[in-house]
Structure 1
Amino acid sequence: MATARNASHGSTTALLNFVALLCSIPVIGAGIWLSSKQDNECVHLARWPVVILGVLLLLASLAGFVGAYWNRPALLAAYFSCMAALIVILFSLVAFAYAVTAPDGSYAVPGRAYREYRLAGYSDWLRHYALARWPEIRLCLSASELCREIGRDRPYLTAYQFFHTELSLSR
């Protein structure tokens, strides 16, 4: 009875890891596609981390699949260790992102339909990071279609009309 239950858990683990293995392929493809976009400064930061994340996911899911399918405890132990490490890394990234953006830097401005944001309202680390990389950020913002899209969808004749318009892109 216990052997049949263990075989059932092994096949479920193998199936889930095979699906994860298949899902890692588009992640790697997206990273390769981002790395081929040499003209866009906005994706420069995400190029290789996406490829590396996809490869790590591929290797971990391959170890989990082989370990579960052929009942290799060493591979399963490596798989569980890798998954635990990936979960800890992801939680750490979420905590870091929250810590550097917790004060959101926004404040209400009388007579405006939107909130203003100032860099001084964010953490010291984020302020320093943004100021050190401002040329790249500026290039990214100027190359994006966002400003042209806002102007195309809502033509503004005066600054007053612009300042009193809700600027969210959700429609």
Structure 2
Amino acid sequence: MIKFSNSLIGLINFLTFLLSIAILGGGIWLSTKANNSDCLKFLQWPLIIIGVALMVVSLAGFVGACYRNTFLLWFYLLTMFFIIAAFLVFIVFAYVVTDKGSGRHVMNRNYLDYYLSDYSGWLKERVQKDSYWSKISSCIRDSHVCSKMGVEINGVPESADMFYLRKLSPIQSGCCKPPTVCGYVYENETMWNQGGGTMDYDLDCSTWSNDQSQLCYACNSCRAGVLATVKKHWRKISIVNIVLLVLLVIVYIIGIAAFRNNKRIENDEPYSSTRMTKSQPSRIHF
């Protein structure tokens, strides 16, 4: 098994190299998606860094295993250890910061409403900072996610009852309409008139504006919608990340076996044999 480890580590690192390309592509895709609609750049940079690091390390491990280069294998093992540790910290951190909070079901509505009070921790503190939120809200506004909500049936705008049956994204629900509790009356997807709701119940009720450049971009519900989007994206890739972490650990263990095998070859130690020396040579000869 130890002699077989060099060939196996070379093959696995080649596959890991291909996987690093996919991870790098995923990070770039998340970056593009964040710029276009979600606007909270949280997941893409760790994935891009991990993808590039895996690409470099897998090349070093592949060359080191195939050419029995002990230095490259040593570099591979040392760097892989830090990558695994950093990846584990990233997974745990992302789970912790996206653990709490979810949308609330609303009576006679198919979409969910989002409240910032349901969230806590580092991400909530980030979106509550005006300097940080101004960049996110500007990004959401520039993405035109709200203006794209309009739906027509046979050339006729959808009715209120049809709108209530829609499944809105967290950002559409939190940023493009007022919270349901405010009691606003539907005119169209982004135009709502004051009704009989309790306007003092939620600060967002007075923050909402029919000005298409304002809407609910300054609302806490919009902040909550962004956090819900981050949580949704993290949950989608969490299983892949855990599987990747397990794969990295397996590759690391095999890499240790390959490194030991190369050290044995450099020391001219035959496999499954031991060297014994006597402190005093025997004086009996036959």
TM-score clears 0.5: yes
CA distance in 2 between counterparts of 1:14 and 1:57 reads 14
Aligned amino acid, residue 13 of structure 2: N
**In 2, distance between residues paired with 1:79 and 1:147?**
48
Q: Which residue of 2 aligns with 1:140?
A: 139
2:52 match: secondary structure:
helix
Give the secondary structure class of the aligned counterpart of 2:110: coil
**Contact 1:156 1:162 (8 Å CA) reproduced:** no
- Specify the code of the residue in structure 2 equivalent to 1:21: F
What CA distance in whole angstroms lies between the structure 2 residues aligned with 1:145 and 1:113?
A: 23
Within the alignment, does 1:115 sit opposite 2:112 as a pair? yes
Match of 1:80 in 2: 77
The residue that corresponds to 2:58 in the other structure is: 61
Residue deviations 1:41-97 (CA, integer Å, cap 9, x gap): 848666765553333112211221122112233432332332232222222222222
Letter in 2 for 1:130: V
Structure 1: tracts of 5 or more residues without a match: none
Q: Quick check: which one's helix share is greater? A: 1
Maintained 8 Å contact 2:152/2:158: no
Cα deviation, 1:11-64, whole Å, max 9, x if unaligned, reads 12112212333444565577789989xx85848666765553333112211221
Instruction: Answer whether contact 2:112 2:168 (CA < 8 A) is retained.
Output: no
Structure 1 pair 84/54, CA: closer, same or farther in 2 (3 Å)? same
Q: Identity across aligned pairs (percent)? A: 36
Quick one: higher RCO (CA 8 Å, sep 6+), 1 or 2?
2
**Alignment gaps of 5+ in structure 2:** 170-286
Q: C-alpha displacement at 1:151, in angstroms?
A: 3.0
1:20 maps to which residue?
A: 16
- The aligned amino acid for 1:110 is M
